Structure formats: C-alpha cells, structure tokens
Amino acid sequence: MNTPIYNKLRELESEKRIPFHMPGHKRADFGAFFGVEKMDITEITDYDNLHEPEGIIRESMNLVRDIFKSKESWYLVGGSTLGILVSISSVCRQGDKILIGRNCHKAVYNCIRLLQLEAVYCYADVSAEYDICEDMKPEAVARELRANPDIKAVVLTSPTYEGVVSDIAGIKEVTRPYAIPLIVDEAHGAHLIFHKYFPDSAVQEGADLVIQSTHKTLPSFTQTAVLHLCSDIVTKEQVEEIIDIYETSSPSYLLMASAEYGIMYMKENQGQLAEYVDNLKNFRRKCEQLKKISLLNQKKLNCFAYDNGKLVFSVKGCGINGKELFQLLYEKYHIELEMENLTYGIAMTSICDKKEDFDELWKAISEIDKMCEEKEKENRSLNKAVNETKIAIQNQDKVEIEICDKNKPKIETKIHNHYKVIQEKENEQTIYPPKIIESWQCRGKAMETVELADSTGRVSGKYVMIYPPGVPILVPGEKILKETVENISQYLYNGYNVLGLSCNKIIVLKDL
C-alpha cells in the first residue's frame, strides 16, 4: 500500500535511537495498548460520552480531580492548545483586555485573534549569560495591572520549555485584589505533583485554570492533555460550554484512556518514579564535571524554581551552536533531543527513561565537552600567535581575521527566540518589536511580500516563529525592528526553518 506516514513510523522500530524528547512514554512497550485497533471505538452503549460524561469517563475524570486536588478536571484530546483556547474563552469576552507573558505559546495569540482581545504584554527577565527567559516576576505582573486595571485575565507559562518555574503563589497574590483569573499554561508540568524533587504545580499554588499536556512528561499518547479548574472564579458549566464548542464531537477513546493510564501509572509506580529521580540526580551530579558545556539549573538561571527533569545544555562559548550539538548527538551517538536553539539544546526526560539511556547521554555529552575544550585550547594558541587580532572560526577550518578597536565600547549581541538583548558595558537593554495594531486587526488588510533585509520599519502581517517552541518572534501587527531582522537572519544563517518566511521573504502590511 502507498502509506508514506505509516511506513516511516515503522522505520522507528529498527532505528534504535534514544528518544530524549516527547512523548513521555518514550515508545516503551507497556502492553497496555497492544492491539489498539480493538479498543478504538465511538460513543457506543455503556461507554459514556466525553461531552456529557456520566459513566466511566466521569468516574475517571473524578479520579484525576482527586489526584491533582482540583475542583474539576477534564480530559482534552486536542492537546494543551485546546485547553488554552477553552480557558481564555471561558473568562474573556470579545474586546476584553488580557495580560499575557510575551513568551506564551502561539495558541494564546491565536485565541486573542479569535476573540479580538486587546493584548497587554508582560516580559520576563533574560539571563544574559544563557540567553534564556527567567521566571515571570510578581512585580512585573503588578506593574501591568496597575497600568491597566481593566484587564480581565492573566495568562502565563510555567514551567517554560526550558524548565523555568515562576512564583505562581506570589503572582496570585498580585491578581487577587483585581478578582481576575490567573491561567497557567503548565503544558510541561503534568509530572510536577508526583514527586517532591520537582517544584510545586500551579494547581496547588493558587492558579485558577491550569492546562497540562499529559503526553509531554507522562507515559501518554501525543495530543493528550488535561484542564484543571482550581477555584470558583468561573463555573464548571461555563468551562464545559466552551469545551463543547472547541473539542471534536468524536473524541478518541484511545487518547482518553492513554491520558488516564499515564496519570495512574505515575501514581501507582512510585518505585520506578524514585529510580527516575535518582537517575536525574546522578546525571546532574556528573555534569558538574563538564568544562565547557553547562547543564542549566535554578541557580544558574536565577529563577524562582526549576524543573530538574528538563536537561538544558548551554553550548554558549563552546565553539559549537545548539544545532551542531543536536546533529552531533543524532548522527554520532544516535540520541535525539527535543529541540535546539542557537545557544542550547533540550533533552526531555520522563519516568520511562532508563538508567542506560542516561548513561549513553552522559557519555555523549562528556565526549562533546572534551571536544569543545580541545578546540578552545587550539584557538587560544592561535590567538596568542596573532596578538591583538580577533579570531572567528567558521566551519572549523576557515579563519576570518578582524582587527579589534580597543577604544570602542564592546557590544555583545544575545539572541533568543523572541527578543534581542544588547549589552554595552554594564548596561543591558532588551528590545521588543512594538505593537502597532492588534493582531486580529490585520485580517482583511492589504499585504505584500518583501525581502527580509528590506523589512525594517514595516508592520508584520503574519506570525514569524521557530517551532518548537512556538513562541512568536513577530506577531501580526508588530513593527519590525532592525534587531528583529538580525535575530531572524541569525536563525536562517544557522539553518533553522523559520515559520512565516518564504525564500527569505516576509509578509507585511501594505499601508502601514
């Protein structure tokens, strides 16, 4: 049969590659879903209905509610994207003002467009050393609420893709006087409640609505998620009304059962969970020996809390970039990371990762670290020979020489996926594309395609982003800055697929 997707998936069986990426089941054979075709049904007699649960589905969701200690919990078969759409739509009406972290997932921006909301952005600090967003500070949220007391909801991401956890309890104290809901995209944190080694979940920290992707860190199928209602700020009926609108009328029982199984597996297998935590602790202890590559943690990122289940390897200053780290691990060591950025790579772990998997990852990372250390020694010798000359090594065998002007203040650029930080001497400034009009106001406006290099000063007509993580570099309606162009150009230069561009061209509004 001509089945390219199916055929490609079957190839995974013979590749023997170690998956340090989602989904959390890591393709392990639990035996629970063997012969899945026999369990793939619709709403037949005695099997309940997700849109009006009264039997086994209601019983199962009540079990999840009790485990997470929420007021209500719902299975979602449309991933955390569905949970984000439902949460915002449950508490906002057309034209409302909403405060969101600028590092939110694209699903948040899409909901803003659907409901024609007025977006107010809240910005996290940036780690100048590692080019990664730190936690969202309660003071930053408070500042925006004071300036915009008519905000109807706050949406934040915690943990982030990189594992950074914000002070949700502190932020809730800020939002409480305004009597507005705090929505937390905890897609990367479904595992947090199951072991004290991990930070507290937003469900326990005071958030009103919390979205979790069970497939990311639990042994569940891709696309599975849960939504938790944790307060009385919105009613169960309001949430279910919106779920009924957004969720498919033919939800997969396999996905529901997989979400249920993943949660119960974490609850019932405490011994395996303890082994997983020990593996993480041992791996992190070994990584303290690294000379060049840095495994990030709470102290290094100066954040409120950190999910140590995320292994983020910073290669800044190592002579390689994140993409090269990814490719080395993939091609030489048969290890696949979850994602890579310009200066780091991310390995996602779960209860299903075995000790030998961590051992193989350590062997690979330590060897790459030694390679980077040797390369630095070679560069130091070369630098000494050329005296006051700056050496830029390209492709390991090309040398470009540029005379340094010692009298000129040094400017170092730091690139992240949605901003650029410019550091001059001791002063640091973060530059964001300013919003000219709301994203939904771009609909129907005349647009044109221009070269990226010629787009400075124009207004973006489409989203521009790297996926993953799916955080927009540009949102429709934002002004394109010189720094934005440089940011995007760096991704293109390093071989990244930038969504929203075509042949180095970008769509902009014609009359703005």
Distance CA 308, CA 23 (A): 17
> What pLDDT sits at residue 384?
60
5: Cα within 13 Å, side-chain hemisphere:
0
> What pLDDT sits at residue 425?
34
Assigned architecture for domain 270-373: Alpha-Beta Complex (3.90)
Confidence bin at 367 (pLDDT 50/70/90): very high
> What pLDDT sits at residue 142?
99
> What pLDDT sits at residue 485?
97
Q: Is the pLDDT of residue 27 over 80?
A: no
Distances (CA, A) of 5 to 9, 25, 267: 6, 20, 34
Distances (CA, A) of 338 to 14, 21, 325, 343, 349: 20, 4, 12, 14, 9
Q: By three-state DSSP, how is residue 450 classified?
A: strand
Q: Say what the pTM is.
A: 0.89
Q: Is the pLDDT of residue 360 over 50?
A: yes
Q: Is the pLDDT of residue 413 over 70?
A: no
- Residue 453 has phi, psi (to 5 degrees) of -65, -20
Confidence bin at 482 (pLDDT 50/70/90): very high
Q: Which residue has the tokens 């010798």?
A: 381
Cβ pair 336, 20 in contact under 8 A = yes
If you average pLDDT over residues 331-357, what whole number do you get?
97
Q: Which residue has the tokens 């000129």?
A: 408
Distance CA 454, CA 464 (A): 16
424 Cβ contact list (under 8 Å, min separation 6): 409, 410, 411
> What pLDDT sits at residue 34?
67
Q: Is the pLDDT of residue 405 over 50?
A: no
Confidence bin at 102 (pLDDT 50/70/90): very high
> What pLDDT sits at residue 391?
47
> What pLDDT sits at residue 17?
87
Per-residue model confidence as pLDDT tens digits over 225-259: 999 999 999 999 999 999 999 999 999 999 999 99
Task: Give the residue extent of every domain in the chain.
Answer: 36-268, 270-373, 418-509
Chain CA centroid to CA 453, Å: 28
Q: What is the helix, strand, coil percentage profile of the chain, to 5?
A: 40, 25, 40
Per DSSP (E only), the strands in 128-181 are 132-133, 151-157, 164-165
Q: Is the pLDDT of residue 419 over 50?
A: no
If you average pLDDT over residues 147-164, what whole number do you get?
99
Per-residue model confidence as pLDDT tens digits over 106-140: 999 999 999 999 999 999 999 999 999 999 999 99
Per-residue model confidence as pLDDT tens digits over 169-193: 999 999 999 999 999 999 999 999 9
Per-residue model confidence as pLDDT tens digits over 305-339: 999 999 999 999 999 999 999 999 999 999 999 99
Adjacent-strand bridge partners of 403: 389
Share of the chain above pLDDT 70, in %: 89
If you average pLDDT over residues 45-56, what whole number do you get?
95
Confidence bin at 11 (pLDDT 50/70/90): confident
> What pLDDT sits at residue 423?
39
> What pLDDT sits at residue 417?
45
Q: 10 Å Cβ neighbour count for 240?
A: 17
Confidence bin at 12 (pLDDT 50/70/90): confident
The pair of structure tokens assigned to 509 is 């509004």
83: Cα within 13 Å, side-chain hemisphere:
28
Q: Is the pLDDT of residue 8 over 70?
A: yes
What are the helix and strand counts (H, E) for the chain? 15, 28
CATH code reported for the domain at 418-509: 3.90.100.10
Q: Is the pLDDT of residue 152 over 60?
A: yes
Element (H, E) at 110: helix 106-115
Per-residue model confidence as pLDDT tens digits over 427-450: 445 578 999 999 999 999 999 999
Q: Poorest-confidence range of 30-39, 88-97, 451-460?
A: 30-39
Assigned architecture for domain 36-268: 3-Layer(aba) Sandwich (3.40)
> What pLDDT sits at residue 9?
74
Q: Is the pLDDT of residue 217 over 50?
A: yes
> What pLDDT sits at residue 383?
60
Cβ pair 233, 243 in contact under 8 A = no
Q: Is the pLDDT of residue 194 over 70?
A: yes
Cβ pair 426, 432 in contact under 8 A = no
